[in-house]
Amino acid sequence: MTKDTAKHILIVEDEEYLRDLYLQVLQSEGYEVEIAANGEEAYEKMSQKQYGLVILDVILPKMDGLQVLDKLNNEGKQKNDNIVLLTNLGQDLVVAKALDFGVRGYMVKSDYTPEELVAEVRGYLGDGDVKSEL
């Protein structure tokens, strides 16, 4: 993973306001951010490119997060260890299943302030220098 791809983040979020928020917050932190509004788009992008981090919602139009994970898993094109679930779903089962697919972790959207989210992302990417830029 190069330094460049390490800074590439894909946000998969169907809710427009939240998508804009995450895009704005993370871009202002200096990350290269791409967005996907549904599962299919996310799958397309993830098959074409290796991201440093994929923030994946679960409830999505066309293809939900778990289906995306399942498809990727079956194809074996990439390990899912660069994916973090970001959802407002509270079902332990969904989380357990996602973890079975090899995702690194999960966040409950409502529990995080934008600042805390950035901190989490930084933690996942193992990147210390972005914080100093803030």
Partner 1 sequence: MGFQDHLSLLIVILSSFINFFITVLVYLRNPRSATHKIFSLLGLSILFWLVLTYLSYRPWDTPTTLFLIRLSTFFAPLICLFFFLLAHTFPSAKLKLTRKRFTLLAIITSVVMILLISPFAFTELAYVNNFPSPTPGFGIIPFVLYVILTISAAIFILFKRLRHSIGVEKQQIKIVLLGILLMPGLIILTNVIPVTLFNNNTLVPLTPLYPLVFQLLTAYAIVKHRLMDIRFIIVRSIAYILLLLFIALGYIAILFDIAYFVNRGRPSIEALQDLVVPTLLALFFAISFQQLRRVFEKITDRIFYRDRYDSNELLWSLSRIMASTLYLTDLSNQILEKLLSEMRINYGSIVLVRDKSIFWVGSSGEVSKHPFNNADMYSLVYDSYHTTKHNEHIFIFEELPEGKIKRLMRKQDLTIVIPLTVRHELIGGLVLGQKASGEIYSSEDIDLLKIVAPEIAVAVRNALSYEEIKKFNITLENEVDRATHRLRKANKRLKELDHLKDEFVSIASHELRTPMTAIKSYLWMAINQPNQEIKEPLKRYLNISYNSTERLIRLVNDMLTVSRIERNKIELKLAPLNINEVVQLVFDELKITAQEKHIAFKFEHPKKKISVMGDKEKLREVVQNLVGNALKFTPENGKIIIETSEKGDTSQISVTDTASGIPKESLPDLFKKFSKIEYSYSKHSSQPGTGLGLYISKQIVSLHNGDIKVQSEVGVGSTFTVSLPLYKRKGGGKE
Nearer to partner 1, 36 or 107 (CB): 107
* Site for partner 1, rule CB under 8 A: 15, 17-18, 21, 59, 87-92, 108-111, 113-115
CB of 87 to partner 1, least distance (A): 8
In this structure, how many other beta carbons lie within 10 angstroms of the beta carbon of residue 121? 23
Nearer to partner 1, 78 or 114 (CB): 114
CA distances from 107 to 1, 45, 89, 111 (A): 24, 22, 10, 8
CB of 48 to partner 1, least distance (A): 28
Nearer to partner 1, 35 or 59 (CB): 59
Burial class (CB in 10 A: 0-12, 13-18, 19+), 99: middle
